[in-house]
Structures are given as structure tokens and as C-alpha cells.
């Protein structure tokens, strides 16, 4: 079933994402709460926000949301080849790429989600998760619609598997988004919830604007992106978290309709550019949790991006189109943690399990507990100026 065919099904329910309260948004001057909602007629979003109705504008009109797209090639008969991600969609006039967010208008390619914020929230940075970036800091998270993968287990499928016009959104250009982050005391901004690759131009410009004002920007991504746009983002971003879904290409093809190698390439690319990198591996029972695969994962990370790269094992919960499996057993996550540590990775964490000691940061030299976390709250932090307070071992990350 295609993404287009799934639109009606997506409206019936599923996991949403948290959002800023109306009071918080009013204080930020954004006018109204933004959430995961499907448009039913025209909603009143308040001053500063521009509502949309459920239909696309007529062909040839200048739409508020339409913005020139990057990374495409013109082809005969006014077709375009999108080269922002490995899907390399060939798009005819009037058509869209697989992500549904990029459209061919008479041989020119446009993104339909630039400044089109469908979800905005202030999160703890630990929720991304980025455990080695300014612990305890609030981070302004934003998202649009769309994704270039179709993961059966997606938690945010109401965003990722929707066409842009199916979601309520407000016009929130980069300058205003950065201002909102500053007004709320956030030192970071994150493109997250859906796949930032599909709103590449929006994220890039947010990061550039943030850099001008002393704000860092992070990307929470599947890593399914081509070399050139990835390198462009690395010039502007401070941190990138990549979801490595499996060490099996067949898993990527059957569960996500993608492939493994582009993700591995992205991970190495980010590391080579000096951008802070953390990796998340969602452990799905019977599909990617074998001892062999976890061992291969840990060995690949150590060999290709180094033992200091944080690895987060995350607990699976049934969602979207993968509901036949149970949540990941705690014992499986403990086993994954032990395997990765035994293979020599220094910073291995377990997520989606509140209270586990495996969410704490340990010094790889003296073994002392450096950062103790209680769910998304920092209870203790003994990393001082990037070093272990007890033995002065350097701890990699962004600490100030």
C-alpha cells in the first residue's frame, strides 16, 4: 500500500507527538497551539499564523508554502530527478516525490514544507536522545509532514506518513523559529519527529540563522540522505543523531522500504566532518535483536566511527503497522547493553526504560558515575569542562 493510499487510514489514530501549550505559544508570539491534527475546513490559528484548507492551491499559483527545492536534476519532458536522498525519485510534471513533500511544477522542483511547522515543542535534550550535548538543556523541536522511508513501526506516523496539506500547520519561517527558541531560553533547536531530510532547505536555513545568533541546531534523522546534502548540513549543524535500524539490508527493505548502506555512509560522513554524533538502535523482538547482529553493530561502530560514539539501545513498543510484536523484554535490552560494552564501546545506553542505570554516563577510565539521569532529568553531573571530575579523563561531547 502506497503512502498516498494510507492517508485515510492515518487519520483514524496512532501515536502523536507532544506539543507546546497554547499559553506557551502565545508567550512566544506564535499565536496558537501547533499539533498533530488533520485539517477539517479552515482552523482559526490566531495572529501570526496562517491556516490552510485541506486542498492544494491551483497549479501555477504562488503558494505560501512553496519554496525552491535543492538537489535535483532537470530531465527531458520537464521531468526532474530528485537527488536529495537515495530514492532518486523521477518526478513528472505535476507529480511529487515519494516523500510527498517535493513537487514538480512545470519542470521546476519545489519543497512544500518550507516554514510549514506541523509540530513544535520544547523538549529536554535527553529525549532526542543526545546524552553528550549540554545535559539538562531545553531544546526547541520542530517538524513538518513527510518522510522518505516508510517504517512499519513508526511512532510518529501521523506526521511522517501524511501529505503536508493533510496536517494543520502554521507559517513559521527560520527567523521566527530561532527567535522563539531564544525567547524560551533554548540554546538548541532540533529538526525531529518526522525525517528532516524532507525539509532539508528549512532545516539548513534554521541552522544558518541560529548560528548567526549563537544557537546550535541538531538533526534527528534516519541518515537516509545523499552525500552532498549531508555534507552541506554538516557545515551548519552542531549535532546529529542517526537511527541505525538494523545491520541487515533485508530488514531495511522489508521494514522501511530503504537500504542499509546509505545510512552507514551517512554515519561515517558525519563523523568525518567533526559534527557530534550519537546513534540509536531500536531493538525489535525477533527482527533485529539477535546476538550476532548486536555484535556486528558494536564492532562496526567501534571500527568505523570509534569507541567514544554513544550508542543508545531503545525499547520497541507496538505502533503503526507493526503491532503483532510485544514490547522489547528488559532482558533483551540488558543483553544488548552487555554485548556492546564487551565489544569495547565506552558509552552505551538503554532508552525507553525509565529508572534503568544503563541511562547513566560512566567514565571509561575510572568507572565512576558521571551523569545520573532520572528519566529525562539530570540528577547529578560530574563532567566539568569536558572532563571527568574524579580522574580528569576527557569525555567527548558538547558540554558548554
Rounded Cα distance, 56 and 187, in Å: 36
- Angle (CA) 23-28-30 rounded to 5° is 90
The pairs formed by 246-249 with CB atoms below 8 angstroms and a separation of 24 or more are 246/287, 246/288, 246/293, 247/288, 247/293, 247/296, 247/297, 247/300, 248/288, 248/293
Same domain, 299 and 281: yes
Please report which confidence band the pLDDT of residue 10 belongs to, taking 50, 70 and 90 as the band edges.
very low
Scan for cell 558521571, then name that residue.
370
- SS3 annotation, the chain: CCCCCCHHHHCCCCCCCCCCCHHHHHHHCCCCCCCCCECCCCCCCCCCCCCCCCCCCCCCCCCCCCEECCCEEEEHHHEEEECCCCCCCEECCCCECCCCCEEEECCEEEECCCCEECEEEEEEHHHCCCCCECCCCEEEEEECCCCCCCCCCCCCHHHHCCCHHHECCEECCHHHHHHHHHHCCCCEEEECCCCHHHHHHHHHHHHHHHHHCCCEEEEEECCCCCHHHHHHHHCCCCEEEEECCCCCHHHHHHHHCCCCHHHHHHHHHHHHCCCEEEEEEEECCCCCCCHHHHHHHHHHHHHHCCCCCCEEEEECCCECCECCCCCCCHHHHHHHHHHHHHCCCCCEEEECCCCCHHHCEECCCCCCEEEEEECCEEEEECEECCEECCCCCECCCECC
Check which CATH number belongs to the domain holding 162 and give it.
3.20.20.70
Q: Is residue 247 part of a domain?
A: yes
Same domain, 345 and 384: no
pTM confidence score: 0.88
Backbone φ and ψ for 217, nearest 5 degrees, come out as -125, 140
Residue 289's contacts (CB-CB under 8 Å, 6 or more residues apart) are 283, 328, 332, 336
Q: Is residue 250 part of a domain?
A: yes
Angle between helix 291-304 and helix 261-272 axes, rounded to 10 deg: 30
Q: Is residue 13 part of a domain?
A: no
Same domain, 268 and 189: yes
pLDDT digits (tens, 9 = 90+) for 292-350: 999 999 999 999 999 999 999 999 999 999 999 999 999 999 999 999 999 999 999 99
> What average pLDDT does this structure show over 231-241?
98
pLDDT digits (tens, 9 = 90+) for 31-63: 333 333 322 222 222 223 333 333 333 333 346
Same domain, 193 and 318: yes
pLDDT digits (tens, 9 = 90+) for 97-153: 999 999 999 999 999 999 999 999 999 999 999 999 999 999 999 999 999 999 999
Scan for cell 558509552, then name that residue.
347
Q: Is residue 393 part of a domain?
A: yes
pLDDT at residue 36, rounded to an integer:
36
Rounded Cα distance, 221 and 85, in Å: 12
Q: How many domains does the chain have?
A: 2
Scan for cell 503558494, then name that residue.
63
190 in Cβ contact with 217 (< 8 Å): yes
Rounded Cα distance, 25 and 184, in Å: 10
Average pLDDT, the chain: 87
> What average pLDDT does this structure show over 196-211?
98
pLDDT at residue 320, rounded to an integer:
97
Please report which confidence band the pLDDT of residue 354 belongs to, taking 50, 70 and 90 as the band edges.
confident
Q: Taking the C-alpha atoms of 359, 362, 368 and 373 in order, what is their torsion angle to the nearest 10 degrees?
A: -30
Task: Identify the domain containing residue 152 by its residue range.
Answer: 117-359
Q: Is residue 193 part of a domain?
A: yes
Cell numbers at residue 278, please?
Answer: 550519537
Q: Is residue 33 part of a domain?
A: no
Same domain, 300 and 330: yes
Rounded Cα distance, 200 and 110, in Å: 12
Q: Is residue 26 part of a domain?
A: no
pLDDT at residue 222, rounded to an integer:
98
Same domain, 384 and 265: no
Same domain, 198 and 336: yes
Same domain, 252 and 349: yes
Q: Is residue 42 part of a domain?
A: no
Scan for cell 537516509, then name that residue.
224
End-to-end CA distance of the chain: 47
Please report which confidence band the pLDDT of residue 64 belongs to, taking 50, 70 and 90 as the band edges.
confident
Same domain, 384 and 295: no
Same domain, 322 and 376: no
pLDDT at residue 63, rounded to an integer:
67
Same domain, 147 and 236: yes
Same domain, 355 and 379: no
Amino acid at each position: 500500500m502506497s503512502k498516498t493510499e494510507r492517508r485515510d487510514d492515518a487519520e483514524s489514530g496512532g501515536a502523536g507527538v507532544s506539543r507546546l501549550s497554547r499559553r506557551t505559544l502565545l508567550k512566544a508570539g506564535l499565536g496558537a497551539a501547533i499539533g498533530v491534527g488533520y485539517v477539517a475546513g479552515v482552523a482559526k490559528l490566531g495572529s501570526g499564523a496562517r491556516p490552510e484548507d485541506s486542498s492544494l492551491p491551483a497549479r501555477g499559483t504562488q503558494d505560501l508554502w512553496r519554496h525552491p527545492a535543492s538537489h535535483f536534476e532537470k530531465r527531458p519532458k520537464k521531468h526532474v530527478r530528485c537527488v536529495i536522498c537515495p530514492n532518486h525519485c523521477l518526478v513528472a510534471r505535476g507529480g511529487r516525490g515519494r516523500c510527498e513533500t517535493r513537487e514538480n511544477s512545470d519542470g521546476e522542483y519545489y519543497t512544500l514544507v518550507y516554514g510549514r511547522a506541523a509540530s513544535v515543542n520544547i523538549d529536554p535534550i535527553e529525549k532526542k536522545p543526545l546524552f553528550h550535548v549540554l545535559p539538562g538543556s531545553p531544546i526547541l523541536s520542530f517538524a513538518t509532514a513527510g518522510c522518505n522511508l516508510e517504517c512499519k513501526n513508526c511512532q510518529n506516523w501521523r506526521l511522517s506518513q501524511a501529505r503536508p496539506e493533510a496536517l494543520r500547520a502554521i507559517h513559521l519561517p527560520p527567523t521566527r523559529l530561532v527567535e522563539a527558541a531564544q525567547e524560551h531560553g533554548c540554546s538548541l533547536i532540533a529538526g525531529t519527529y518526522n525525517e528532516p531530510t524532507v525539509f532539508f532547505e528549512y532545516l539548513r536555513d534554521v541552522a544558518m540563522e541560529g548560528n548567526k545568533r549563537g544557537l546550535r541546531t541538531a538533526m534527528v534523522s534516519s541518515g537516509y540522505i545523499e552525500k552532498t546534502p549531508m555534507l552541506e548540513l554538516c557545515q551548519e549543524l552542531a549535532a546529529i543523531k542517526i537511527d541505525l535500524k538494523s545491520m541487515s539490508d533485508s530488514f531495511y527493505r522489508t521494514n522501511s522500504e530503504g537500504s542499509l548502506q546509505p545510512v552507514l555512509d551517512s554515519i561515517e560522513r558525519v563523523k568525518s566532518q567533526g559534527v557530534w554524533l550519537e546513534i540509536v538502535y531500536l531493538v525489535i523482538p525477533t527482527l533485529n535483536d539477535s546476538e550476532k547482529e548486536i555484535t556486528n553493530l558494536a564492532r562496526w561502530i567501534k571500527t568505523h566511527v570509534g569507541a567514544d560514539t554513544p550508542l543508545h539501545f531503545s525499547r520497541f513498543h507496538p505502533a503503526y503497522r507493526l503491532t503483532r510484536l510485544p514490547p522489547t523484554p528488559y532482558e533483551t535490552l540488558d543483553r544488548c547493553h552487555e554485548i556492546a560494552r564487551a565489544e569495547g564501546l565506552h558509552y552505551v545506553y538503554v532508552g525507553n526504560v525509565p529508572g534503568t542505570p544503563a541511562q547513566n554516563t560512566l567514565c571509561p577510565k575510572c568507572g565512576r558515575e558521571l551523569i545520573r539521569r532520572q528519566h529525562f532529568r539530570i540528577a547529578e553531573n560530574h563532567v566539568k569542562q569536558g572532563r571527568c571530575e574524579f580522574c580528569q579523563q576527557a569525555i567527548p561531547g558538547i558540554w558548554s
